[in-house]
Every structure is written in structure tokens, then in C-alpha cells.
Amino acid sequence: MIPLIIIPPFLGSNLWISYNKTDLPWYCPKKMNDSPLWLYPPLAIPPFHNCLLKLLTLEADENGEVYPYTNTTFNQHDFGGVESITHTLIFINKFMRFWPVYAPFVKYFEEKGYKVKKDLFAAPYDSRLGPNRIPEYYGKLKDLIVEAYNKNGQQKVVLCGFSLGGSVLQKLLTEKTDKAFRDKYISKGVLIGPGFGGSMPFFRDLLTKRTSYVPSLDNENLKKLIESWPTFQEIMPNPILHEEVPLLYNEEGSNFKGKDLKEFLIAHKIFEGNYLKSFLKTYERVGDYLKEPDVPIDLIYNSGRPTIAALNFTNGFDKMPVDIIGKGDGTIGSFGLEKICSLWKNAKCYNVDCDGPTCIHGSLIKNVDVLDAVYNTTYGRAISLNTKRAHKLTDDL
């Protein structure tokens, strides 16, 4: 089998935590020792959700660097295996459920004959930090690529990044490896709904300090968490790709385009103190996502679902905005990715172009047509995404 490495999405890698001395509220656990945090249901129930929010919040220093909450350490289990990526906890209509992030993907490839840690691997990471804040991760990922290559008769490796994982993969291929490494070890990259296309729903979360996962939650701990995570800044609409695109409207009807976002965010104090320094550090790198990798790239995206394209703050910036709808997969807008496809001359782009539950962002990695496309391109076969027939999902696990 040709070796395949999965790079998971935002919130798609589980986190384990250790601590024994913090300033958490009295009702929070006094200590945790390599315990699951980002998938641990008891801490998602009020008032314990405040424990979860505080523990997941990042601190920032005078240089704009971010680090974990006081006296805590985080890790992912089973690097190279799939323990950290198959399921995670999300909220749907205020109810908790486990989202089978990559379980259907893994099942699909196992049914094709793949074996985890033999020719199918996963590379989880702390997705709070964003692609620019995980330097140690890229070293581990390179080692995993070499391991996969050697375990499989020195066959080059296919890398598949979904959502934010696509942004991580682009970073690996353009900055974190040299050409000699890529030529020897990497066959191609497959990007599925990559986060650098820009997500207005997550940008709305950043501006309002609320989350669409639990719309009713208006909480100071949540506000600080959102302000602290560089990933919210990484997946907002790219200011260069959206340079002349109106993204925000104020009470007077004036618009703010991609080129205006930095000044807008500063003027409206979306970030304060050291978190502003962290944002400016992230913003310096927005142009990096325009760089085209020099390995073959297949980019799969969807423009067929109604997706927030702009926000109208008709009632003021202190109120929830009115969504202006455009195209995408419900989370990632298609405009930015189509712009990338026009800039990357050697990339092959495929538009799923479908609506319905099988075509939302989170379902793309269990959409059978998309999985068939990943499998076929891994073996050098043509990709055929039949957008006219009904799409199917693999079974949730």
C-alpha cells in the first residue's frame, strides 16, 4: 500500500492535560494527570464548563508568544496512530455528542487494506495554536514521514490535510521542509477544504466572542479563550486573498474589505494587551498561504452550500450581526480557495459543488465521493467527483 498520513482539522485532535496547582474555581478538579480534556464530557456541563474554558485558554507574553494556562501541560496520545483523531466532543443544538472526526475515514481505508501505523498514519497537534505556533510538531511530522517511507518499501508518502490540517500541510510543504526532503519522501499533498480559504463563521466568533457551537453561551471565560487562540486569526478571511472583497458593513452601510481588517480589529479592540501583540505576530504571516508547494497538489473544496460571506453590523458592533450569504461548504468560503486555485499554476482543484448534509464542511471527510477521490489520487488515478448524483456518507462510528 502507498503510505498515507492524515493531518486533522481545527478541534479535531484530542488533548490530554496534567496539572496539580492552578487558580481554578473551587468546583474544578484540583489536579489532573494525563487526563482527557478536549473530549471530557463532565467538564462541558455548567458550571464545570468554566473549568474547561479556563484550562483551554492560552496566555500571551510581551513578545506575542502564547503558552498554556498556568502550571498546565498538554499532549496528544498515539502520534502516528489514530487514538487522538477518531472522535471528539461537540455540541449540536445544546446537546453533547461525540463527533466521529476521522473514524469513518480510517474505516474506509482499512476496508481498502490499510493498517494503522503500517501504511495509514495520523499526526495530531494542538489546534488552538495555529500552523505558525507549533514548531516542534513539524519535526515530529517529518520523522513520521520518514518512518512511513521506510516501513513501506521506500515508497513516497501521500499527505492529506483537512480544514486547518490543510493549512498545516501547506506550511510543511512551503516552509518546514527543504526540496531535497520533499523530492525524496513526499509523493503529493491532498487538501480538503483547507482553512486558509477563510471562515466567516469563525471570524464572526472572533468578533462577537461567542461560539456558534453554543450560541446561548455569553461568558467572560469564553471571550478570553477566543481572544487567546491564534487559530481564530489564522482562519479568518485572508486579507490578501480578500483584499478588495467587502467583508463587514457598519451602521452607516460603509464596508470594510480584506485590506481593512487589521485596522478594523485594532480600532474595535478585538485584541488587547499581549493578545494584540500575538495577533500582530500572526498577521505578519498572512501572505505565506499564497505560496504554492512544489509537490503535486490536489485541492478539494465545495462551493455548493450557503455560507456566510460577509457580516452586517446594522445594529452596531456591540450587537450580533446579520449574516450575508455567499458560497462555500458552510464553514470555509469558496472565494478564497478559488483565488488560490487561480494562483497555484500546478495544483489541480476539484469542486464538490453540492448541498445537503453530505456536503457540509465536517462531512467532507466521510463523503464517499471525496474518500474515493483521496484513494484514487493516492494511486495516481484520475479524480472524478460526480456532483450530479446523490452523495453518500460512510457510517458514523
Burial class (CB in 10 A: 0-12, 13-18, 19+), 129: buried
Question: Residue 37: helix, strand or coil by DSSP?
Answer: coil
Whether 189 and 174 have beta carbons less than 8 Å apart is answered as no
Q: Which helix (H) or strand (E) holds 109?
A: helix 103-111
Residue 314 per-residue DSSP state? T
pLDDT tens, N- to C-terminus, the chain (397 residues): 999 999 999 988 999 999 998 889 999 999 999 998 987 778 888 899 999 999 999 999 999 999 999 999 999 999 999 988 876 654 444 455 556 678 889 999 999 999 999 999 999 999 999 999 999 999 999 999 999 999 999 999 999 999 999 999 999 999 999 999 999 999 999 999 999 999 999 999 999 999 877 777 889 999 999 999 999 999 999 999 999 999 999 988 889 999 999 999 999 999 999 999 999 999 999 999 999 999 999 999 999 999 999 999 988 888 899 999 999 999 999 999 999 999 999 999 999 999 988 899 999 999 999 999 999 999 999 998 865 444 565 554 4
Residues ≥6 apart with Cβ < 8 Å to 342: none
Measured between alpha carbons, how far is 232 from 209 in angstroms, rounded to an integer? Answer: 11
Measured between alpha carbons, how far is 59 from 67 in angstroms, rounded to an integer? Answer: 5
Bridge partners for 247 per DSSP: none
List domains and CATH numbers for the chain.
Answer: 4-199+292-304+331-378 (3.40.50.1820)
Measured between alpha carbons, how far is 386 from 370 in angstroms, rounded to an integer? Answer: 10
